[in-house]
């Protein structure tokens, strides 16, 4: 076709059809979940009565921050046991050191040395046992040091502390409430990092591996970079899909646990022959493109494949190196239609 007005020719531009590394995108619905390593359920390790509550639902807390104080007779008993054990250990250590010195001077027998050594080992074991109990209850090394040097816990109160930084999302206690050992009193979550789960058809899941980059798109929001952290080695027996998990930086707080999102994975395929999508048009219900020839322009039928990033894969109809019209396609269609009408 060469009957194109000169003014229209100025609007026509072409581009060479060539092989390109065309990204192939796979998308699926997903849902946001808490990163379980960022969740803490805080419980009392001893029975007692709630004496003070320092935080409330919705508060941001730092790791180690006191949450509540529990008054406990059991803690009182252990503190007393600890102080007695420390006193006995000090006496046993002093006796053992003195006995070693006297035995070295042959003033006392070897048997006495062995007896005092045994008393020292026994006292040390009792002390260490009670010490471990208090540490397991959450008391710090500093608090134990203070106990040993005359500073007592006020009212024998056990402090519950935040095991991680985050937000208090559950509070199950009130002042004066009796609590049992192991009873959950608070829940703290850190949503600065979240998980996003999705299910992919097996044939699509095979294209990806752990560590691949993807995107999470919240409804009405901008895409967020995500990394594929897990592909299930087992397909779901009902849906025959593969469950995948993305680790997502959520420091901006755009993702909310339990909300629905779209996930995208991009597979960098082998180079394929592709052309700009703007070159493709419909003429007489046939999908094709205009090719620039020495004598004018020809419309040819094409068979296309994947579309991505403004490009479309050409399976049949165009050869590498041919000039494909990308701008002015509408003018060429008008010229063909006018020629057809005049011919009638």
344 exposed, middle or buried (CB, 10 Å; 0-12, 13-18, 19+)?
exposed
Instruction: Tell me the whole-structure pTM to 2 decimals.
Output: 0.62
Question: pLDDT tens string for the chain (344 positions)?
Answer: 556 556 666 788 989 999 887 666 788 999 999 999 999 999 998 888 999 999 999 999 999 999 999 988 888 788 888 888 988 998 999 888 888 888 777 787 888 888 888 999 999 999 899 889 888 877 778 878 777 776 655 556 788 999 999 999 999 999 999 999 889 999 999 999 999 999 999 988 988 899 998 999 999 889 999 999 999 999 999 999 999 999 999 999 999 999 999 999 877 666 889 999 999 998 888 899 999 988 888 899 999 987 777 888 899 999 999 999 999 888 888 877 665 444 44
**Domain topology for 24-38+191-268:** Elongation Factor Tu (Ef-tu); domain 3 (2.40.30)
Going by DSSP bridges, is the β-strand pair 48-53/311-316 parallel, antiparallel, or unpaired? unpaired
Ordered by start, the domain boundaries in the chain are 6-22+271-343, 24-38+191-268, 45-182
**Domain topology for 6-22+271-343:** 2.40.420
**CA gap 171, 55 in Å, rounded:** 9
Query: HSE of 39 in the Cβ direction (CA atoms, 13 Å)?
Result: 10
């Amino acid at each position: 076709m060469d009957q194109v007005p000169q003014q229209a020719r100025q609007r026509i531009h072409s581009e060479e059809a060539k092989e390109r590394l065309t990204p192939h995108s796979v998308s699926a619905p997903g849902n946001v979940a808490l990163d379980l390593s960022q969740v803490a359920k805080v419980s009392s390790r001893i029975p007692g009565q709630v004496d003070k509550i320092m935080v409330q639902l919705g508060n941001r807390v730092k790791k180690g921050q006191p949450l509540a104080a529990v008054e406990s007779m059991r803690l009182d008993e252990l503190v007393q046991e600890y102080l007695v054990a420390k006193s006995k250990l000090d006496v046993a250590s002093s006796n053992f050191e003195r006995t070693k010195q006297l035995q070295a001077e042959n003033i006392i027998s070897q048997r006495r040395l062995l007896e005092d050594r045994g008393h020292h080992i026994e006292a040390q074991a009792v002390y260490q046992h009670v010490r471990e109990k208090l540490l397991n209850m959450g008391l710090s090394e500093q608090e134990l040091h203070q106990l040993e040097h005359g500073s007592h816990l006020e009212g024998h109160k056990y402090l519950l502390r935040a095991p991680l930084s985050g937000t208090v999302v559950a509070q199950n206690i009130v002042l004066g409430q009796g609590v049992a050992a192991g009873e959950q009193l608070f829940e703290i979550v850190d949503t600065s990092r979240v998980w996003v789960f999705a299910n992919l058809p097996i044939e699509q899941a095979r294209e990806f591996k752990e560590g691949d980059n993807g995107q999470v798109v919240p409804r009405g929001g901008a895409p967020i970079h995500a990394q594929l952290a897990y592909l299930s080695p087992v397909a779901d027996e009902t849906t025959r899909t593969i469950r995948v998990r993305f680790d997502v930086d959520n420091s901006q707080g755009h993702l909310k646990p339990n909300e629905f999102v779209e996930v995208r994975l991009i597979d960098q395929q082998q180079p394929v022959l592709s052309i700009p999508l703007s070159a493709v048009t419909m003429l007489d219900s046939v999908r094709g493109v205009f090719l620039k020839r020495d004598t004018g322009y020809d419309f040819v039928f094409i068979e296309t494949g994947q579309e991505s990033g403004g490009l479309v894969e050409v399976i049949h109809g165009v050869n590498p190196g041919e000039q494909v019209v990308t701008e002015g396609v509408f003018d060429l269609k008008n010229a063909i239609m006018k020629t057809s009408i005049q011919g009638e």
